[in-house]
Chains A and B, each alone.
Chain A
Amino acid sequence: MNILLMGNPNVGKSAIFSHLTGVSIQTSNYPGTTVEYTKGSMTYNKQKYTVIDVPGTYRLNPESQAEQVATSMLDSGDILVNVVDATNLERNLNLTLQLMKYKKPMVLVLNMWDDALRKGIEINVEKLEYLLKMPVITTNGVTGEGVELLPEKCITAKPTYSPEMTPATRWQKVGDIVGQVQNLSKRKISFTEKLQDLTIHPLFGLPLASVVLFVLFKGIVFAGEQMTQMTEALFHRYYTPLLLKFGDFLGKGSFWYEVLLGTIGKSGIHYESAMGVLTTGIFVSFGIVFPYILLFYIVFGFLEDLGYLPRVAVIMDKMLHRIGLHGYSVIPMFLACGCNVPGLMALRNLETRRERFITGVITCTVIPCMAQTSLIFKAVGERGNVYVTLVFLTLATVWAVLGVFLKHAVRGNTPTLILEIPPYRIPNFKNQVKKVWMRLKCFMKEAVPYVFLGVFLMNILHVTGVIDIIGKALSPLINGIFGLPAETVGALIIGTVRKDAALALLLPLGLTDIQMVIAVVVLTLYIPCVATVTVLFKELGVKDALKALGVMFITTVVTGGGLNLLCRIYTLKTVIFVEQALAFILIYIISSMFKQKTDEISEAL
Chain B
Amino acid sequence: MIKRKSRLSDMNTGKSGVILSVDGGKKTVDQLDSIGVRIGAHIIKKASLAGKGPLVVQTANTEVAIGYLTARKIWVEVD
Contacts and interface: CB of A to CB of B under 8 A. Distances in A.
Given A197-B46, A317-B67, A417 B61 contact: no
Contacts of A418: 31-32, 35, 37, 64-67, 70
Interface string A142-184: 0000000000000000000000000110010000000000000
A317 B50 contact: no
Nearest to B48: A202
Interface in A95-144: 95, 119, 121
B37 to A, nearest CB: 8
A523 to B, nearest CB: 36
B40 A119 contact: no
Contacts of A59: 30, 34
A95 B35 CA distance: 10
Contacts of A315: 49, 53
Given A58-B34, A88-B62, A202 B70 contact: no
A313 B67 CA distance: 11
Given A197-B47, A200-B47, A416-B70, A317 B53 contact: yes
Given A202-B50, A327-B65, A61 B30 contact: yes
A318 B49 contact: yes
Contacts of A196: 63
- For chain A, the bracket of interface size reads 35 or more
A500 interface: no
B35 A58 contact: yes
A420 B47 contact: no
Given A61-B30, A201-B47, A418-B35, A87 B61 contact: yes
B48 to A, nearest CB: 6
A276 interface: no
Contact of A419 (B27, B52, B65): B65
Contacts of B54: 314, 317-318, 327, 416-417
A205 interface: yes
A421 interface: yes
Interface string B23-62: 0000100111111111110000011111111101000111
Interface bin, chain B: 20 to 34
Given A58-B35, A421-B63, A416 B30 contact: no
A94 interface: yes
Interface string A200-223: 111101000000000000000000
Interface in A364-421: 415-421
Contacts of B36: 90-91, 94
Interface string A287-329: 0000000000000000000000010011101100000000100
B64 A94 contact: no
Contact of A421 (B13, B27, B38, B56): B56
5 contacts: A119-B61, A202-B48, A417-B70, A418-B64, A421-B56
Interface of B: 13, 27, 30-40, 46-54, 56, 60-70
Given A91-B60, A202-B13, A419-B64, 20 more contacts: A58-B34, A59-B30, A59-B34, A88-B60, A91-B62, A94-B36, A171-B38, A314-B65, A315-B49, A315-B53, A317-B53, A416-B68, A416-B69, A417-B66, A417-B70, A418-B31, A418-B35, A418-B66, A418-B70, A422-B63
